[in-house]
Each structure stands twice: as structure tokens, then as C-alpha cells.
Amino acid sequence: MGKNKLKKFAEMERLDCVFQYPKSALEAAGGCPLRGLWAKDVFANSNPIVLELGCGKGEYAVGMGKADPASNFIGIDIKGARMWSGARTVADEGIANVRFLRTSIHLLPEFFAPGEVSSIWITFPDPQMKKVNKRLTGTHFVDIYRRVCPPGALINLKTDSPFLYAYTLAMARHNGLEVVAATPDLYASEWADRVPRITTYYEAQWLGRGIPSKYIAFRLPAPDVVLTEPQVDIEPDSYRSFGRGNLESLGLRT
């Protein structure tokens, strides 16, 4: 591991805006002491809690926090070295309504009580074209989201991937979920002014290469609704068939 990563990890341990609970630490602590108490004990208010999943550098969580002071935002990722950038911004600028949680998305119910999370943002995740159970908009994860959000909570996806966009729309329709918004070209649609205009590093790369951002928002169903996977054939993303070397030559590191 490089010295720069080690330095970032050490600094993350000292930042008050960062909470780090890998599975081993969670088990050692006997569970997360903040479960059900994030608004009261972390943010000291009763405002809605919004999650950004797979937050990477935390640009979206930070941007939403600045744009909406009446809500609390928590960026979640398993990779601390990426999260350091957003956490450093929050600490330096004293942004009171943004925090970061380092853990696996699979463990969300360990950290948040039923109904504690008001909505979720998923921004430019890996589409996981070969592994449906790893797709953050797949039924496996939607079931997890239902355990921390109330029925009707909004799940927002921004993606460059035509595959993930088509899959998510098919999944929602197949299961009878309410689709609030769906556009294959966000910034050329009526939703352009309704969705926070926060351009992350990776979104800028895709837009710069003529790949439009897609947006879909759907509502979570009641807990007793059984979700199943749609049986559809979706064309894979051609540009994601490149090897790592090809992507790096385009300035798109995987």
C-alpha cells in the first residue's frame, strides 16, 4: 500500500465527520451504537437522512449537503482512500449536514433502523453486467433498502451505463414499482432543472466523451411485496468491453 493511502487512512481515523465500521469492527462493538440515532446524535436535528451509496470521493454528498441544508446526507463506501477527499472538504469547510460512513452497503440494516433513511442516491456505480446480485438497483439491494427506508421512499440512479439504465427500468416495471422519472439523457430532459446539478469527476469524463447521463427514480414498495428479477435480454455496454489498458488510455481509470 502506498504512503499516500496510509496517510489518508490515518487522517480518516481523526476526522469527526467519518465513521468507520467494517464488519469486523461492527461485530466487535456488538452492533452500531448510532442505529436509529443518526439525526439526533450525529446531526443534532430531526431532518431527513439521505444516503449516497458507493459515494467514491463524496462529491455528490457534499454537493447535496451544500444545496439542501434542511436535510442530512451520509456518503457510504467501502473504500476509505476515495472517501478521504469528500471528508476533508466537509472538515475544512465545516459542513454540518454531511457525514461519511465506511462500510459495506450489504450492512445498511446494521446501521440504520427501519424507516430511518428518507431516500437514496446511487451515482455512477459499476453496472455489474454479469452479476445481478451485485447491481445496486437489483432486487437483492432493493430488499436491503426496504429495511432502512419507509414504503414509497425514492431511489435515485444517475448512470452513464445504457445497460444499467435499461435494467433498472425493466426491474421497476416488472415488479410494478412506481417510476417517478426516467430519461436516457438527463441534461436534455425536463428533469435537468429538478435533479441536483452536481457533476462528479467520473460524470464529467463520460459527458466529455459524448456519453449522456441517464436518470431514473422509483419508489420502494411495501415490505410484503415479493420482488423478482425481470427475464429480459439487455445489450451490454460496448465501451465497457474495453480492457483496463484501453480505459486508462482514455483517461478513465477503473
Q: Which residue type is seen at 192?
A: A
Contacts of 170 (CB under 8 A, 6+ apart): 230, 232, 234
pLDDT classification of 252: cutoffs 50, 70, 90: very low
> Grid coordinates representing 234?
439487455
> Grid coordinates representing 28?
466487535
* Segment 78-99 mean pLDDT: 92
> Grid coordinates representing 144?
436491503
Distance CA 170, CA 76 (A): 26
97 within 8 A of 69, measured Cβ to Cβ: yes
137 within 8 A of 168, measured Cβ to Cβ: yes
List, in sequence order, every residue forming a beta bridge with 76; answer none if it has no partner: 53, 101
> Grid coordinates representing 141?
439491494
List, in sequence order, every residue forming a beta bridge with 112; answer none if it has no partner: none
Instruction: Please state which of the ranges 154-158, 179-183, 215-219, 232-236 shows the lowest mean pLDDT.
Output: 232-236
Picking from 111, 161, 173, 117, the residue whose alpha carbon sits closest to that of residue 136 is 161
68 catalytic per annotation = no
Distance CA 148, CA 101 (A): 15
* Segment 86-112 mean pLDDT: 95
Question: How many residues in total does the chain contain?
Answer: 254
| Dihedral (Cα; 22, 156, 196, 68), 10-degree rounding | -60
Condensed to tens digits (0 to 9), the pLDDT of residues 136-166 reads 999 999 999 999 999 999 999 999 999 999 9
Instruction: Please state which of the ranges 3-12, 116-125, 178-187 shows the lowest mean pLDDT.
Output: 3-12
Catalytic residue among 68, 92, 126, 193: 126
| pLDDT score for 4 | 75
